[in-house]
Amino acid sequence: MLNLLAHIAHKRSSPRGCWAVLVLTLGALIGLSGRPARAADDQPQPLTGRQMIIHVLNRCGYGPRPGDVERVEKMGLPAYMRQQLHPETIDDSALRAELARFDILAMGATELSRTFREEQQANKQRQIDRANAEKNGAVAMTGTSSNSASAQNERAAPAKRPGGEGPRRSFLAVAELQDAKIISAVDSPRQLYEVLVDFWSNHFNIDVRKGPCRVLKVVDEREVIRPHVFGKFRDLLGASAKSPAMLHYLDNFQNSAPREMSPNEQRRRQQALQQSPGAPTETVDNKPRQVGGLNENYAREIMELHTLGVDGGYTQKDVQEVARCFTGWGVDPQTGEFVFAPRRHDNGPKTVLGHDIPPNGGIKDGETVLDILASHPSTARFISTELCRRLVADDPPPALVERAAAVFRGTDGDLRAVVQTIIYSPEFFSPQAYRAKIKSPFEFAVSAVRATGRTIVPDDLLPMNARLAMEAGATFGRGMDRIANARRKSLDIAVIEMGQPLFAYQAPTGYTEDSRKWVNAGALIARMNFALALSEHKVVNVSAPSADLMRGVDADKPVLVLDQLNHVLLQGEMAPATRATLEKQISDKQTSDASTVNVPELTALVLGSPEFQRH
C-alpha cells in the first residue's frame, strides 16, 4: 500500500497545486509508516492493493463492472486515478453517440424557454377548448353521470395533442435529463467525472418541478455544472449565479430595488387590467405605485448552501446586503438567457461580510460578492467538508478537511486539486472508509446494473416518448397508481420509487450527502424489490446480464454459483453470516425441488444484501 501511494504521489501529472498535495501526501505517508507493523487486534487491517482498487471503483465511480478490478490492476491504480482526474484524456465517443437520441438536451436556452412558454399557452387554450366542447356537449345530453368529465380528462391525458405533436416537450425534458444521467453513470468511462457532476448538480440543487426549471435545468446541467467540475470554484459559482434555472428556482429573477412605477408603466398596467374582463377594476388615482422589492432567497442560499455554510460567519444583515447586490440579475423573457437589468438594480453603497462595495457598481456588485464568497475561508472549509462527506466518510475526518481546505485556498479554488488531495489521502484509503457509506438509491441502481454487466438499452415495451412521458409524470407525482400496478418499469421509475427522483428535490439543500439518511424501512423494501425486478428481467430498459457473469460455472453446483456471485458482485467479500443464510437458502430449495440453482433469485439476494447496499 505504501508503495502504491508513493507511486501515486510521484507520478502525478497535474502541475498546478501539486506541491502542497505532494508534501501533504508524503507527510501523511511518513505518519503512516510510523505505525506499528502489526496492527493491534482491535485495529482494522490496512487495505490491500486490491481493496484500494475496489474502493476507487466504488467511490470515484458507480461500482465495478465484471472485470474492472482486474483491468485496473493491470494498468495500475495510479495510472487509472490520474486518467480519471483528467477525463478529457478518456475517449467517451460511444457514450456521446448513445446520448445523441435525447434531442431536447441539445436545445439552447432560447428555444427551450420558447417551447415552455408556447406549450403553457397551448395547454391553457386546450383546456378552454375542451371545457367549451364539454359545455356544448352537456347541453345535448343532460343527466350524464358526474364522473364523465373526469373520465374525459383521463382519456384526453398526455398522449393526444392537437396537431399530433405528442406529449409536451418541456415535460419530456425532465425525463431526458434523468435518463441521460442514468446512462452516463452506467456507461461513461469517465466515472469520477460523473460522480462529481452528480455532486455539484446536487450541491447547486434545482427542482425541475418549479415552473420553467424543467427546461432550464437542461442548460444548467450542460453549461453550468458539466464544464466546471474540474475547474475553479469561482467559475462554477459564477456560472450558477447566472444560470436561468437557478435564477428562477431561488427567485432572484424577482429580486429588484423597490421603485415607483413610471407613468408609462402605470398606463400600460391600467390598459392591461381593463382588457381582462374578470379582473378587479382599480380606482385611478395619482399616487405612484411601488413595484419590485428585495427577494432574499438566493442571497441566503448562496451563502448557507453554496459557499460559506450555515455557520460560515454571515449575518441577516449580510443576507440583505447580498440581496441588494444581486438586484437586477434576472432572465430575459425573450432569449431565456441571463440578463442584468440596470433599472432594477439597487445602486446604493453596500457592505458585505465587512467589505465595502461602493455605489453605482451595477452588475459589478454581484461579481464582487461572488469574488468575496469564493475566496472566503469558510467556503474552502465548507466545500472541502461536503466533498469529503461524499467521497470519504459521512463524518469527514477533520484533518483531511483541513488539508483539502488549505489546497482550496492555496490554489484559488482549483477543484481538481481539492479532489485529488482527498482521493489520494490516507483517510480515503483507510479501512474505516472502506465500504462504509450506504449507496443512495441512484448509486444502488446504477451499481447493480454495472455489477451484473448489464447496460441500458431501448425500452422493449413502449415507444421512447411514451416512456419518457411516464417518467416525467412520475417525477411530478402523476400517474403513480398506474405505475404502481405496472408489471415492468424503467430504471428511472425504479429510482423514483426508491425515493430519489433525479433533479427533483424540493428544498435547495439537495439530497443529503450523509448516506445514513438513506436508511429506512420503506426504502429498504423498495431496494429488495428492485433487486428482484432487475434479476427477473422486469426493468424494461436494462439488458440481460453479461454472459461472463456465469461463464464456466456449473449451475448444478450451488456453492460454485454462490462463489461466482460473491466474486463478481461483492469482490469476494461477502460476510460469513450472509453466506450462511444464502447456503441455507440453497439447501432448503434443493430439498423441495431437485432442479438447478435459481440463479436470478440468488443474484437478487446478493444485490439486496446488506453488503451490496454499501460502497
Partner 1 sequence: MTLTRRAFLKRGGLALVSVGTVPLWGPSFLQQLVFAAEPTRAGGKKILVCIFQRGAVDGLSMLVPFGDPNYYQARSEIAIAQPTQKTGPQGVLDLNGFFGLHPNMAALMPIYKSGHLALIHACGSPSSNRSHFDAQDFMECGVADDKSIRTGWLNRALLNCPEDRAKLTPFRAVSMTSILPRTLQGDQEALAIPDLKSFGVGGDGFNPSSATASAASGFEGMYESAVGDLLHGTGKDAFDAIGMLKAADPTKYSPRNGASYPNGAFGRSLMQIAQMIKANIGVEVAFAEIGGWDTHVNQGGAQGQLANRFTEFSGGLAALYQDLGDRMNDVVILTMSEFGRTVRQNGNRGTDHGHATCFMVLGGPVRGGKVYGKWPGLAREQLFEGRDLMLTTDYRDVFAELSQKHLGARDVNKIFPNHKLNARNYPGLLAV
Q: Which 289-308 residues touch partner 1, going by CB under 8 A?
A: 297, 300-301, 304
Which CB sits closer to partner 1, 577 or 594? Answer: 577
- CA dist 504 and 331 (Å) reads 22
Distance from chain centroid for Cα 104: 18
- CA dist 101 and 19 (Å) reads 44
User: Which residue type occupies 72?
Assistant: V
Question: Are the CB atoms for 237 and 307 separated by under 8 Å?
Answer: yes
Packed helices 191-203 and 77-85: angle between N→C axes, nearest 10 degrees:
40
- CA dist 104 and 100 (Å) reads 10
Q: Which stretch binds partner 1 (CB under 8 A): 10-18, 439-447, 560-568, 603-611?
A: 603-611
Residue 243 grid coordinates? 444560470
Count interface residues toward partner 1 (CB under 8 A): 80
Cβ 485 to partner 1 shortest distance, Å? 6
Q: Which stretch binds partner 1 (CB under 8 A): 94-102, 340-348, 503-511, 546-554?
A: 503-511
Instruction: Confirm or reject binding of residue 343 to partner 1 (CB under 8 A).
Output: no
> Across the strands, what pairs with 331?
338
| Contact code string over 562-591 relative to partner 1, x by CB under 8 A | -------------x-xx-xxx-xx--xx--
Which CB sits closer to partner 1, 140 or 484? Answer: 484
Which CB sits closer to partner 1, 91 or 265? Answer: 265
Of the candidates 474, 540, 562, 597, which one interacts with partner 1 according to CB under 8 A?
Answer: 474
Of the candidates 18, 20, 26, 528, which one interacts with partner 1 according to CB under 8 A?
Answer: 528
Instruction: Confirm or reject binding of residue 280 to partner 1 (CB under 8 A).
Output: yes
Question: Are the CB atoms for 189 and 98 separated by under 8 Å?
Answer: no
Which CB sits closer to partner 1, 529 or 546? Answer: 529
Q: What is the DSSP string of 386-451?
A: HHHHHHT-SS--HHHHHHHHHHHHHTTSBHHHHHHHHHTSTTTTSTTTTT-SBPPHHHHHHHHHHH
Residue 528 grid coordinates? 429488495
Cβ 496 to partner 1 shortest distance, Å? 7
Instruction: Confirm or reject binding of residue 507 to partner 1 (CB under 8 A).
Output: yes
Cβ 507 to partner 1 shortest distance, Å? 5
Instruction: Confirm or reject binding of residue 157 to partner 1 (CB under 8 A).
Output: no
Q: Which stretch binds partner 1 (CB under 8 A): 26-34, 69-77, 504-512, 541-549?
A: 504-512
Q: Which stretch binds partner 1 (CB under 8 A): 182-190, 355-363, 413-421, 491-499?
A: 491-499
Instruction: Confirm or reject binding of residue 209 to partner 1 (CB under 8 A).
Output: yes
Instruction: Confirm or reject binding of residue 189 to partner 1 (CB under 8 A).
Output: no
Q: Which stretch binds partner 1 (CB under 8 A): 68-76, 127-135, 229-237, 358-366?
A: 127-135
Of the candidates 214, 403, 489, 615, which one interacts with partner 1 according to CB under 8 A?
Answer: 489
Instruction: Confirm or reject binding of residue 461 to partner 1 (CB under 8 A).
Output: no
**Distances 403 to 10, 25, 35, 427 between C-alpha atoms, Å:** 19, 10, 21, 11
Of the candidates 371, 499, 563, 567, which one interacts with partner 1 according to CB under 8 A?
Answer: 499
Question: Are the CB atoms for 69 and 573 separated by under 8 Å?
Answer: no
Which secondary structure element, helix H or strand E, spans residue 291, and what is its range? strand 290-291
Cβ 31 to partner 1 shortest distance, Å? 29
User: Three-class SS of residue 137?
Assistant: helix
Phi, psi of 518 (to 5 degrees): -80, -10
Of the candidates 93, 276, 286, 591, which one interacts with partner 1 according to CB under 8 A?
Answer: 276
Helices (H), 485-598: 491-497, 521-535, 558-570, 576-592
Cβ 256 to partner 1 shortest distance, Å? 16
Instruction: Confirm or reject binding of residue 124 to partner 1 (CB under 8 A).
Output: yes
Among candidate residues 36, 48, 69, the one with its CA nearest the CA of residue 2: 48
Which CB sits closer to partner 1, 229 or 599? Answer: 599
